[in-house]
Chains A and B, each alone.
Chain A
Amino acid sequence: MATNTAAGGASNLLRFWPWVVIPLLALILPQIFDSRHGITLLSHMGIAIIFALSYNMLLGNTGLLSFGHAVYYGLGAYVAMHVLRMVNDAGGEGLPLELIPVVGAAAGLFFGVIFGSFSVRRAGVVFAMITLGLGALVHSSSLMFSDFFGGEAGLFGNRVAAPSLFGVDYGSNTNTYYLVVAWALIAAIFIYLLRKTPLGWMANAVRDNPERAQFVGYNPTIVRFIQFALAAMFAGLAGGLFVITDEIVNDESVGQIQSGIVLLGTYIGGIGYFIGPMVGAALVTVLESSLSSYTEAWVLYFGLLFISIVMFAPMGLVGIVHTQYLTWKAGGWKGNTGIRLYMLLAGLVGIFGAICVIELSYHYFRSWDPSAPFGLMGFTVNATTALPWLVSFGIAIIGFGLMLFHGKPMLARRISATSEGGNA
């Protein structure tokens, strides 16, 4: 039997290959993207993955929607930073750098236990609201208690002025990256194994049916509490790693935006799958850092992507792939592979058209001189003339139209035809 998730179901594909492919990818990627910025981005992806996995312990596994998970990430980071600074001040003597994240994890656990003790009594909206309030409270206090939080300027540390267990020089971004990978792997394994324990099972049980869980002897509050505390611990670990890669921590790491991003990434990836949050977190990290260089509209794209996922693919991107894979394996693609590809293509064309429309709008409404020519998909166009608008809208309408009103009914007809044929 496979994972114990809601929709994950039993699938060997999703069970084993990630454990081989992802570490391999983690080792190969820095060879390809070998600039400092590229390596830092990869490190951030690693951290985001731990954070998202920890978040999914709440949302996916226990059904707890939190709007304040960054509190534990951020507080873990702050405590780790203080320890790093102590090590710095002691002239580089004390706790080895490799273990600084453990400090963050301990801090996350500590605050998770404290805040968790009163926030997990109820799930659902009450829990969501409490986490929202707590997140705002902690974020506001980060600007008030500047002794601990360093005000809005934050705190700085120096990872090089700290001893290393293995004599590694962490001046190099690449070495730091491998440290992140190591911790990410450890965290992922632990979080994965946690799902297999009685606690992990009962977390799912409590998510699906807290009442029933009570009648098999479990206190849902305690199940949620332990899950919450452990999730906070892993969030703190991610925070501790962030301190090492960026050597800075400030109020944004406990802020609502951080909480929002982890929710976004986890959900986009797919909360029902173990690798869902990983995929989502990595994607969001890359998009967030690079999309903004290319388009002003990146927040809008983010919002639209998120809404589309919520509306049309509640199991996330991994869910889409997995469903299609299962259909394919079950032979559901037979005789209609072409139609599926056609729908995909039409959809992509539609998206392309929609992007053109959005880019045109941004140019038209936002730039000082809308009539200035600008480059759109390789063409230089003038946004004050009708032509580019007509073409863009046309592409979008044709694309989505073909997908929804031509491809979709055709697929439905084909499928029903095959199943009838099968019966006959």
Chain B
Amino acid sequence: MTKRNALELKAVKKNFGRAEIIRGVNLDVHEHERHVIIGPNGAGKSTLFNLISGRLKVSDGSIKLFDKNIHNMPAHKVNRMGLSRSFQVTNLFQNMTVMQNLRCSLLWSEGHKYAFWKSVMKQDRVTEHALALAEELNLSSQADTPASLLTYAEQRALEVGCTVASGAEVILLDEPTAGMSRTEANDAIQLIQRMTGKNTLVVVEHDLSVVFELADRISVLVYGEIIATGTPDEIRNNAAVQEAYLGTEVH
């Protein structure tokens, strides 16, 4: 396993007014690793994601993506540098069909930019790619269904697909299995593993069984600070974690 860092957070802080939500987070995510962030409610997991993905500005500290600073960049620039994310609440182009969602997600990575002189439908590479993605997502039969009419699990799958489609190397998934039944969650995990084989993955997750199945390494975020990072076994045996988190909130 290569030791290059895909993501590197140094002393990242974020406060809203006087309320400090993130209080100096240091975190390294290795390339090709599946890194899961866990923590109790209100620990600041989503805020951390928003900081990394450029949705929020950091108050202090630095975030590096493959050794380049990305903090305080607008989200689309962060994306172009190789990072994409999904959202806790399904966040698709609701009025578009599955294929349209996938196509939109592919346009930039296929280099079409803001072109207004060529037809999207004539871009065979995009079409092929989108069809392949739909296949992988098990959504081929729903290709022409508007996203808003998909089932919840399908929407989540499409969300993962779109995130991957944007061509990013580092992918942030915010609670990809939230609100799913056991079997749905298992399918989702398999899908994620299948889809993101080549990527670096950072996941926020609540469901601990999912966490231990998925993660190469785990970081535990409590009250805006990472209190431990390590392999699943290390985390399981970490006293501080048990005290701060596992002990109080076991599913």
A226 touches B114 (CB 8 A): yes
A196 touches B120 (CB 8 A): yes
Residue of A nearest to B162 (CB): A216
B96 touches A197 (CB 8 A): no
Q: Give complex CA distance A172, B11 in Å.
A: 76
Q: Is A212 an interface residue (CB 8 A)?
A: yes
Task: Digitize B74-85: 1 where CB-to-A-CB distance is under 8 Å, 0 elsewhere.
Answer: 111101100011
A218 touches B76 (CB 8 A): yes
Task: Digitize B95-107: 1 where CB-to-A-CB distance is under 8 Å, 0 elsewhere.
Answer: 1110110011111
Q: Give complex CA distance A357, B103 in Å.
A: 54
Residues of A within 8 A of B113 (CB): 198
A198 touches B75 (CB 8 A): no
Residues of B within 8 A of A218 (CB): 76, 107-108, 114
Main secondary structure of the interface of A (DSSP, over half): helix
Q: Is A301 an interface residue (CB 8 A)?
A: no
A214 touches B91 (CB 8 A): no
Q: Give complex CA distance A226, B116 in Å.
A: 9
Q: Is A165 an interface residue (CB 8 A)?
A: no
Residues of A within 8 A of B166 (CB): 215-217
Residues of A within 8 A of B84 (CB): 215-216
Q: Is A49 an interface residue (CB 8 A)?
A: no
Q: Is B182 an interface residue (CB 8 A)?
A: no
Q: Give complex CA distance A208, B104 in Å.
A: 12
Residue of A nearest to B163 (CB): A215
Q: Give complex CA distance A374, B1 in Å.
A: 93
Beyond A199-B114, A216-B104, A217-B166, whether A193 also contacts B94 by CB under 8 A is no
Q: Is B112 an interface residue (CB 8 A)?
A: yes
Q: Give complex CA distance A253, B141 in Å.
A: 51
Q: Give complex CA distance A216, B78 in Å.
A: 10
User: Which residues of B, 23-51, contact A by the 8 Å Cβ criterion?
Assistant: none
B93 touches A204 (CB 8 A): yes
Q: Is B55 an interface residue (CB 8 A)?
A: yes
A214 touches B107 (CB 8 A): no
Task: Digitize A7-45: 1 where CB-to-B-CB distance is under 8 Å, 0 elsewhere.
Answer: 101100000000000000000000000000000000000
- Chain A interface residue number, banded: 20 to 34
Q: Is A211 an interface residue (CB 8 A)?
A: yes
B93 touches A209 (CB 8 A): yes
Q: Is B128 an interface residue (CB 8 A)?
A: no
Task: Digitize A201-230: 1 where CB-to-B-CB distance is under 8 Å, 0 elsewhere.
Answer: 110110011011111111110110010001
Residue of B nearest to A10 (CB): B144
Residues of B within 8 A of A1 (CB): 97, 99-100, 121, 144
Report which of B53, B100, B103 forms a contact with A215, defined as CB distance below 8 A.
B53
Residue of A nearest to B146 (CB): A9
Residue of B nearest to A208 (CB): B93
A209 touches B165 (CB 8 A): no
Q: Give complex CA distance A364, B55 in Å.
A: 60
B116 touches A197 (CB 8 A): yes
A199 touches B115 (CB 8 A): yes
Within the complex, the shortest CB–CB distance from A69 to chain B, in Å, comes to 19
Q: Give complex CA distance A10, B97 in Å.
A: 10
Within the complex, the shortest CB–CB distance from A375 to chain B, in Å, comes to 49
User: Which residues of B, 105-155, contact A by the 8 Å Cβ criterion?
Assistant: 105-109, 112-121, 144, 146
Within the complex, the shortest CB–CB distance from A29 to chain B, in Å, comes to 32
Q: Give complex CA distance A8, B237 in Å.
A: 56
B120 touches A197 (CB 8 A): yes
Report which A residues bind B (CB closer than 8 A).
Answer: 1, 4-7, 9-10, 193-194, 196-202, 204-205, 208-209, 211-220, 222-223, 226, 230
Known A1-B144, A213-B104, A217-B80; further 10 A-B contacts with Cβ < 8 A: A4-B120, A5-B95, A196-B121, A197-B115, A198-B118, A198-B120, A200-B120, A212-B162, A216-B166, A219-B74
Closest 5 CB pairs of A and B: A217-B108, A214-B75, A199-B116, A198-B112, A6-B95
A sample of 11 cross-chain residue pairs with beta-carbon separation below 8 angstroms, ordered by A number, consists of A1-B100, A196-B120, A197-B120, A198-B114, A199-B115, A215-B163, A217-B80, A219-B77, A220-B76, A226-B116, A230-B116
Report which B residues bind A (CB closer than 8 A).
Answer: 53-55, 74-77, 79-80, 84-85, 87, 91-97, 99-100, 103-109, 112-121, 144, 146, 162-163, 165-167
